[in-house]
């Protein structure tokens, strides 16, 4: 059978990984599809000078261009992979490809989280597909799971480790007892973290991913701004020591849970029980745990990033788009299930009741616990326990108070009031306990 032509725009980490797989795994891809996928054009601004491995070894007749319009307007190309990233030119490329009647595959969580619904509507109207498996959790096929694999279930909760950089930093801090700053600097030197790490360490990347997954899992339009977000910059190695003492560890957790009043959505560092499966996710790995009303617990684990793990997701999406085109009658399952469901609107996490860990750093003096306890009592918050590990400096003395279940808003107000106390070295750190995680019902 004749080949189906694809165009790859963006030849960086993900584009390079996808090209490598399309080249090296071509025979298997053809055997599975029943026809070859042929790379007809590749594009990046530096194409004339690039010595990228991905470009080497491609047949001489592959069109090489610095202008994405050449790819999008090529009548022979039926599927475009947008692997540029960002919300600028990538949006133009996708809109132009759809308008030209081409199916689109993208890895772009930042764009899909804010404009995906609109682009999907355009794709539907044009009778083409828009797939984005690589946009969330790189090598984990979580989109396919939610869209198809467990579409028959009704999902109650989705909780994940969605940012490999943060998980690498936290698990290295835990393993070695090093500071956030030292591990971040090392991660940057190793290429695990960007020179500007904000999108990762401030939780924004995980928030875009959670917006996409929650929309798909709960059939609701979720925008990043609907999600409460806190990053990991304030986590110190001492937090692991206290968490361990409490039978927990600390991870950046993206959480979407449904209750009778709506969806509670957050990305924040949280205490995770040491025996929970998520506590064992180490390094740059990602994981997603889903609890369904019928199928109950399922767990998905894999590399969250990297050229070839993410490249597999891109190539698999290209294959699905190619299959749909060759089989005629496009009826792709929506990557945004909001269209048919829309049952659960996001609501404020201020009302979310959880147990809390409050970590203080103080200049030691008499009466500190009594003054903190009185702020908590005034806020009608009950203390569960007070913990202090031995051997810390008197001018920067850490200790921890754990709280009985309390709404997040009430805790935030009490923390703001406590932050004004003169003996504190910095504002108290409040982390929720993630309860019931991965433990069978």
Interacting residues toward ligand NAP by CB under 6 A: 9-15, 43-46, 68, 83-85, 89, 107-109, 134-135, 138, 305-306, 310
- The residue among 20 and 392 lying less far from ligand NAP, judged by its C-beta, is 20
Cα angle for residues 427, 433, 437 (degrees, 5° grid): 150
- The residue among 85 and 231 lying less far from ligand NAP, judged by its C-beta, is 85
Rounded to the nearest whole angstrom, what is the least distance from the CB of residue 92 to ligand NAP in the complex? Answer: 9
DSSP string, 349-388: GGG-EEEEEEEEEE---TTHHHHHHHHHHHTT--EEEEE-
Residue nearest ligand NAP, CB atom distance: 12
**350: which 2 tokens?**
């201020």
Q: Could you tell me if residue 394 is left (phi over 0), alpha (psi between -120 and 50 degrees) or otherwise beta?
A: alpha
- Residue whose C-alpha is closest to residue 253's, from 139, 154, 157: 157
- The residue among 146 and 411 lying less far from ligand NAP, judged by its C-beta, is 146
Q: Is 102 a catalytic residue?
A: no
Rounded to the nearest whole angstrom, what is the least distance from the CB of residue 138 to ligand NAP in the complex? Answer: 5
- The residue among 308 and 352 lying less far from ligand NAP, judged by its C-beta, is 308
- Residue whose C-alpha is closest to residue 168's, from 194, 139, 207: 194
- The residue among 310 and 352 lying less far from ligand NAP, judged by its C-beta, is 310
Which residues 6+ apart lie within 8 Å of 181 measured at CB? none
- Residue whose C-alpha is closest to residue 104's, from 68, 145, 62, 150: 68
Rounded to the nearest whole angstrom, what is the least distance from the CB of residue 29 to ligand NAP in the complex? Answer: 20
- The residue among 115 and 355 lying less far from ligand NAP, judged by its C-beta, is 115
Rounded to the nearest whole angstrom, what is the least distance from the CB of residue 7 to ligand NAP in the complex? Answer: 11
Beta strands 63-65 and 37-43 are: parallel
- The residue among 41 and 246 lying less far from ligand NAP, judged by its C-beta, is 41
**110: which 2 tokens?**
């930042």
Rounded to the nearest whole angstrom, what is the least distance from the CB of residue 303 to ligand NAP in the complex? Answer: 9
Rounded to the nearest whole angstrom, what is the least distance from the CB of residue 37 to ligand NAP in the complex? Answer: 19
Rounded to the nearest whole angstrom, what is the least distance from the CB of residue 164 to ligand NAP in the complex? Answer: 8
Q: What are residue 105's phi and psi, to 5 degrees?
A: -120, 135
- The residue among 15 and 269 lying less far from ligand NAP, judged by its C-beta, is 15
Strands (E) across 154-240 are located at 155-161, 228-229
Half-sphere exposure of 288 (CA within 13 A, CB side): 29
Rounded to the nearest whole angstrom, what is the least distance from the CB of residue 315 to ligand NAP in the complex? Answer: 13
Q: What's the rounded Cα separation, in Å, for the pair 184 and 331?
A: 45
Which residues 6+ apart lie within 8 Å of 390 measured at CB? none
* Buried/exposed code over 333-364 (b: 16+ C-beta within 10 A; e: otherwise): ebbbbbeeeeebebeebeebebbbbbbbbbee
- The residue among 58 and 383 lying less far from ligand NAP, judged by its C-beta, is 58
* Residue among 102, 109, 209, 394 flagged as catalytic: 209
Which residues 6+ apart lie within 8 Å of 401 measured at CB? 358, 360, 372, 376, 383, 384, 385, 386, 387
29 and 37 in contact (C-beta within 8 Å)?
yes
235 and 426 in contact (C-beta within 8 Å)?
no
Rounded to the nearest whole angstrom, what is the least distance from the CB of residue 124 to ligand NAP in the complex? Answer: 22
Catalytic residues, by residue number, are: 209
């Amino acid at each position: 059978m004749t080949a189906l032509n694809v165009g790859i725009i963006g030849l960086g980490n993900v584009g390079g990984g996808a090209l490598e797989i399309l080249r090296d795994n071509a025979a298997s891809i053809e055997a599975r599809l029943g026809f070859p996928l042929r790379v007809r054009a590749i594009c990046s601004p530096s194409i004339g000078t690039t010595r990228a491995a991905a470009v080497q070894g491609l047949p001489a007749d592959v069109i090489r261009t610095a202008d994405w319009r050449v790819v999008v307007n090529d009548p022979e190309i039926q599927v475009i992979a947008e692997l540029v990233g960002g919300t600028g030119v990538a949006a133009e490329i996708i809109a132009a490809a759809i308008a030209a009647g081409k199916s689109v595959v993208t890895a772009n969580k930042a764009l899909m989280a804010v404009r995906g619904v609109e682009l999907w509507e355009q794709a539907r109207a044009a009778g083409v597909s828009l797939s984005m498996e690589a946009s969330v959790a790189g090598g984990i096929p979580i989109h396919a799971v939610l869209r198809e694999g467990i579409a028959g279930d009704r999902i109650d909760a989705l909780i994940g480790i969605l940012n490999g950089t943060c998980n690498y930093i936290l698990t290295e801090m835990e393993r070695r007892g090093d500071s956030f700053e030292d591990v971040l600097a090392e991660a940057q030197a190793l290429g695990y973290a960007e020179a500007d790490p904000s999108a990762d360490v401030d939780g924004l990347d995980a928030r875009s991913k959670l917006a996409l997954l929650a929309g798909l899992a709960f059939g609701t339009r979720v925008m990043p701004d609907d999600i409460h977000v806190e990053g990991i910059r304030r986590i110190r190695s001492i937090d692991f020591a206290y968490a361990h003492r409490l039978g927990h560890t600390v991870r950046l957790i993206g959480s979407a849970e449904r209750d009778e009043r709506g969806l509670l959505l957050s990305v924040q560092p949280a205490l995770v029980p040491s025996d929970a499966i998520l506590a064992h996710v180490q390094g740059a790995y990602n994981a997603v745990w889903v609890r369904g009303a019928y199928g109950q617990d399922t767990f998905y684990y894999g590399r969250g990033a990297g050229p070839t793990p993410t490249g597999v997701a891109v190539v698999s999406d290209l294959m699905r788009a190619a299959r749909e085109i060759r089989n005629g009658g496009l009826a792709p399952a929506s990557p945004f299930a909001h269209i048919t469901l829309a049952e659960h609107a996001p609501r404020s996490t201020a009302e979310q009741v959880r147990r809390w860990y409050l970590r203080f750093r103080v200049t030691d003096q008499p009466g500190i616990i009594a003054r903190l306890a009185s702020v908590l009592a005034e806020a009608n918050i009950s203390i569960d326990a007070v913990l202090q590990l031995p051997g810390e400096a008197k001018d920067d003395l850490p200790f921890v108070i754990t709280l009985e279940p309390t709404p997040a808003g009430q805790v935030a107000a009490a923390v703001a009031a406590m932050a004004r106390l003169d003996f504190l070295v910095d504002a108290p750190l409040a982390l929720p306990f993630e309860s019931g995680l991965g433990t069978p019902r």
